[in-house]
Structure 1
Amino acid sequence: MSELGEYLRSRRAQVRPEDAGLVSTGTRRVPGLRREEVAWLAGLSVDYYVRLEQGRERSPSTSVLDALAAALRLDHDGHLHLFRLAGLAPRLESTRTPDRVDPALLRLMAAWPDNPALVYNRAYDVLDSNPLAEALFGGFGAEQNLMLLVFGEPRAREFYVDWQDIAENSVAGFRLNYVADPSDARVQAVLAELLNGSGEFRTLWERHEARGKSLKSKAFRHPSVGVLELTMQTFGVRSAPGQELVVYDAEPATPSADALKLLGSIAATAATQ
């Protein structure tokens, strides 16, 4: 089965018949939609759709992919991922993501004393962070890979209050990055380490979820200040394709805002010692 076929199979398993406007009858031997139901919803012959899933048909047209995206209820990221797998959307140019963060961006991050901010690459290696982000992530270290942290560091399950949601969204984002540039050596290395070292990662990877950052907030349990519920914004760094900037913020006048201020004070005190 091709990667395109695996993705189609995994997506139809996630769509309930009633969500697609179908009436479910009889005993269903598969989760989600049957192959013939996807074919009908997309206006394709069953034989053609079966060949797509089995990898015997590898050159679907854009109209076929659009129809499948609608039938499988794919969001924007899923739609783009489908086109990339079929070779009909440009993959990123195979160039190494810069390891160095632009000094101007570092100055901007340093000017946010109340907002943890960090920059990472396609492999989720943290390239740099401001003092408050370093204080937030604490013992994990500033130079760290966020994927390996989530799946390889036992303390991560305590640190991330909603670890399962974090894990699922991290894997989906990592797959989107992987397919965008499969030749990225660092992404390949991190993927190999995760597949060899974490059964939970392998299970999530086999779901073929692919989407960008979908979590709008995260809850952290910090050993010094307790639980912080922070909103997050993610930005692509235009001057360095492959880098992303993440900025966290706390809702004003909340316990999390107070905890973030306390964390900043602790970090500032530690910096003077």
Structure 2
Amino acid sequence: MNKLELAQFLRRRREARRPAEVGLSVSGRRRTPGLRREEVAWLAGVSTNYYERLEQARAPRPSTQVLAALGTALRLTEAEGEHLARLAGQAPPARDEPVPEGVLRLLDRLGPVPAYVVDERYDVVAWNALAVRLIADFSALPPEERNVLRMAMRGGRCSSAGDEFVRQAAADLRLAAARHPDDRRITGLADEYAEFSAQFAASWTDHDVQVRPTLRKRIEHPDLGELDLEAQVLHAPNSAHRLIFLTAEPGTRSHEALTALSAAGGDRPSSTPLRADRVRSAGATTRPAS
């Protein structure tokens, strides 16, 4: 149980919730932003003293029933409720999972669509050949630098990220840190990126854990210029991996650029041992297409 993170999360969600949103009618001026502690306690059916101790990181681990009641009182989304439970110690043990075979097959069959797979730490663990031509030769990067956020900080082609991407990165790392509280690589990466991006730092502090399945992403390509792309994020079932594939609206310059990039690659090998009809997974051998 991470008492400090739990306390901060509850306080942020309480301050973000307005009385009218939870069915409370109030009059006059309120000094407290959002709900008062006693209001949350009343809505959740717990004592004010107990809820205050939760926000002070002094309370024992809350039960499943109390967590559910707090989630209802604060109108938490499904993702926020799961995050709350993990902060309270109801989380699976940390493990490095292999990329599911189904995800690799999907990555293999996307055709002329750049795509890659990231784990909870935003490490790129699998990719197709078009992603190499669009973003980077991932296989040539040191393992610790094969990370979307570090590539942005180092001024790579992923360096131009939209506001939604930055907020989503903060949410994803918050969720990952709650799942794996002993993994210093996650919080270390968050600290590193917070120094680089003030917006990330603000989102991280706000404990926003909302999931955004579609994001805008801008990529600076040396030959194609700035591309405005749509990043679709698919979460692998029963896995922490996410498949990101990049597309552009037909008729736009970015779409024309992606089409040209795909046509230029053809079936010839890229600058790495990857072929256009093959998919690469970090730590695994290159695999022929099915």
Q: Which residue of 2 aligns with 1:177?
A: 176
Q: Which residue of 2 aligns with 1:159?
A: 160
Q: Deviations over 1:47-81 (max 9, x none)?
A: 22112211222222222211111121111111011
Q: Which residue of 1 aligns with 2:69?
A: 67
**Are the structure 2 counterparts of residues 233 and 169 from structure 1 closer, same or farther at C-alpha, using a change threshold of 3 Å?**
closer
- Residues 225 and 262, structure 1, Cα contact 8 Å, conserved in 2: no
Q: Which residue of 1 aligns with 2:278?
A: none
- Residues 225 and 263, structure 1, Cα contact 8 Å, conserved in 2: no
With structure 1 as the length reference, what TM-score do the two structures score? 0.79
Equivalent residues, number:
263
In 2, Cα distance between the equivalents of 1:37 and 1:217? 36
**Are the structure 2 counterparts of residues 180 and 103 from structure 1 closer, same or farther at C-alpha, using a change threshold of 3 Å?**
closer
In 2, Cα distance between the equivalents of 1:206 and 1:242? 23
Q: CA deviation at 1:178?
A: 1.4
- The root-mean-square deviation of aligned C-alpha atoms, in Å, is 3.3
**Are the structure 2 counterparts of residues 142 and 262 from structure 1 closer, same or farther at C-alpha, using a change threshold of 3 Å?**
farther
SS in 2 for 1:13: helix
Q: Which runs of 5+ in 1 are unaligned?
A: none
With structure 2 as the length reference, what TM-score do the two structures score? 0.75
- Residues 87 and 178, structure 2, Cα contact 8 Å, conserved in 1: yes
In 2, Cα distance between the equivalents of 1:102 and 1:21? 44
Q: CA deviation at 1:156?
A: 6.9
Q: Which residue of 2 aligns with 1:34?
A: 36
The higher-RCO structure (CA 8 Å, 6+ apart) is 2
Q: Which residue of 2 aligns with 1:131?
A: 129
In 1, Cα distance between the equivalents of 2:47 and 2:102? 55
Question: What is the identity, as a one-letter code, of the residue corresponding to 1:174?
Answer: L
Q: CA deviation at 1:231?
A: 4.8
Percentage of pairs with the same residue:
34
Q: Which runs of 5+ in 2 are unaligned?
A: 272-290
TM alignment of 1:1-273, pairs within 5 A: 2-87=4-89, 89=90, 91-98=91-98, 106=104, 108-138=106-136, 143=141, 144-150=146-152, 152-153=153-154, 159-160=160-161, 163-194=162-193, 199-211=198-210, 213-223=211-221, 224=224, 226-236=226-236, 241-251=239-249, 256-268=254-266, 271=269
